[in-house]
Amino acid sequence: MAFINMKKKEVQVKVVYYGPGRGGKTSNLEYIYKKFRERIQTEMITVKTHGDRTLFFDFLPFDIGKINGYDVKIQLYTVPGQVKYNATRRLVLRGVDGIVFVADSMVIRKDKNILSIKNLEENLTDYKKSISKIPLVIQYNKIDLAEQGIPVLSFEEMEKDLNSVLKAPSFSASAITGVNVVQTMKKIIAMTIASIKQELK
Amino acid sequence: MSYTLSHEQLSEIEEILQHNLIDLGVHCVFLIDMAGNIIANHDNGESSHDIYSLAALAAGNFGAVTAMAKIIGEGEFSLLFHKGEKENIHFSKILSDYLLITIFGNDISLGFLRLKVADVVEKTNKILGSFDAE
Ligand SMILES: Nc1nc2c(ncn2[C@@H]2O[C@H](COP(=O)(O)OP(=O)(O)OP(=O)(O)O)[C@@H](O)[C@H]2O)c(=O)[nH]1
Ligand SMILES: [Mg+2]
């Protein structure tokens, strides 16, 4: 839940990148960090294993300037996608304001995507939040792999698998080449801010 | 959804932190919620920590330790403290949703700090108790 500091005129908003293991959540944040290096004053925090898999979370604070006179601080987090880390995944979701679901376009990851979005729904329910109400953007990552001849799911098929009921805004993207990474982030920020804007007076 | 504290509530909390902790030589203190948001922070003017990252890690760390406590059949651990060579860090839960984090040097004993923190927790409780973040 966003915290509005009336005294400092500052808002802190929590956006979490969720999705199956190796889907590209950390890569999204790394791209954003590289791209906006001069605007982000601090280091990106990552808590990971030797093998580069996220163990707990990544954290990247992103200041977007003023809205209605309030300094808006967006806190970007990723969760660990591996199935066995559900306890830590749930911890990171605490107080979440907006979610980017990063799906993996590789054909072999079809079922993992579906399981992961179900798991997101369950974990949100634990916090008495609904996946259909919280600001949500779905990203179909790794589309660049098609050029290398690796079988990827079509946009339509992924929409059918993951977004037929939710009807959330969705993007095809590549966290490696950067296609639609910033657009995904801008969309979730806009939606999340819109959801609390009435309270910024 | 969001929540807020009034100007007066925040001023009151900051006053408590300043008077009970910073004035005694604590280097840096901040009050966060379990989502990792910073509610109030104060320092002695000499420390320049990246408090947003600290807050995110502290909230995660506290959540992890609490989950461990549950697994071994403890409600929670009463002392959460990390000792360094020059700097030490102490965590204290306030109500169910907040965490007070204190960074201090070796010139302050842990026992004394815990007493002071307990005092602050009690005072802050009253202000935060009027509502709950989640
Ligand atoms: N070709 C390609 N590879 C990608 C893309 N995004 C991520 N990868 C690769 O996929 C692997 C996993 O990426 P991560 O960003 O670590 O995935 P993650 O979702 O954070 O994984 P966990 O931390 O285990 O949940 C890495 O080797 C990345 O380089 C992409 O858009 N295209
Ligand atoms: Mg990761």
- The pLDDT assigned to B45 comes to 87
Domain ranges of chain B: 7-128
- This model of the complex carries an ipTM of 0.84
The residue type found at B53 is S
pTM of the model: 0.93
**pLDDT tens digits for A33-76?**
999 999 888 889 998 887 789 999 999 999 999 999 999 999 99
* CATH fold of A12-195: Rossmann fold (3.40.50)
| Nearest alpha carbon to residue A92 among B34, B54, B70 | B34
**pLDDT tens digits for A146-180?**
999 999 999 999 999 999 999 999 999 999 999 99
- The pLDDT assigned to B131 comes to 57
Q: DSSP 3-state assignment of B82?
A: strand
**pLDDT at residue A86 tops 50:** yes
Q: What is the mean pLDDT of residues A87-108?
A: 96
* Domain B7-128 is found in CATH 3.30.450.30: yes
- pLDDT > 70: percent of chain A: 100
The residue type found at A11 is V
Cβ–Cβ of B2/A196 closer than 8 Å?
Answer: yes
The residue type found at B118 is A
- Per DSSP, the residues of B99-133 read EEEEEEETTS-HHHHHHHHHHHHHHHHHHHTTS--
Cβ–Cβ of B37/A127 closer than 8 Å?
Answer: no
CB A176 within 8 A of CB A169: no
Atom of ligand 1 lying closest to residue A23 CA: 19
Cβ–Cβ of B37/A14 closer than 8 Å?
Answer: yes
- Tell me the CA–centroid distance for residue A20 and ligand 1, in Å: 10
| Nearest alpha carbon to residue B54 among B79, B74, B27 | B27
Q: DSSP 3-state assignment of B64?
A: helix
Note down pLDDT in tens along chain B; length 134 residues.
Answer: 788 888 999 999 999 999 999 999 999 999 999 999 999 999 988 877 889 999 999 999 999 998 899 899 998 887 799 999 999 999 999 988 899 999 999 999 999 999 999 999 999 998 887 654 44
Instruction: Give CA–CA dist A44/A47, Å, rounded.
Output: 10
Measured between CB atoms, which of A7, A75, A92 is closest to B11? A7
Say yes or no: B64 contacts chain A, CB-CB below 8 A: yes
Is residue A78 within 6 Å of ligand 1 at its C-beta? yes
Tokens of A52: 């580069």
Q: What is the mean pLDDT of residues A133-138?
A: 98
Chain B contacts of A195, Cβ < 8 Å? 1
CA distance A139 to chain B (A): 23
Q: What is the mean pLDDT of residues A99-112?
A: 98
- The pLDDT assigned to B2 comes to 85
CB B55 within 8 A of CB B30: yes
CA distance B93 to chain A (A): 16
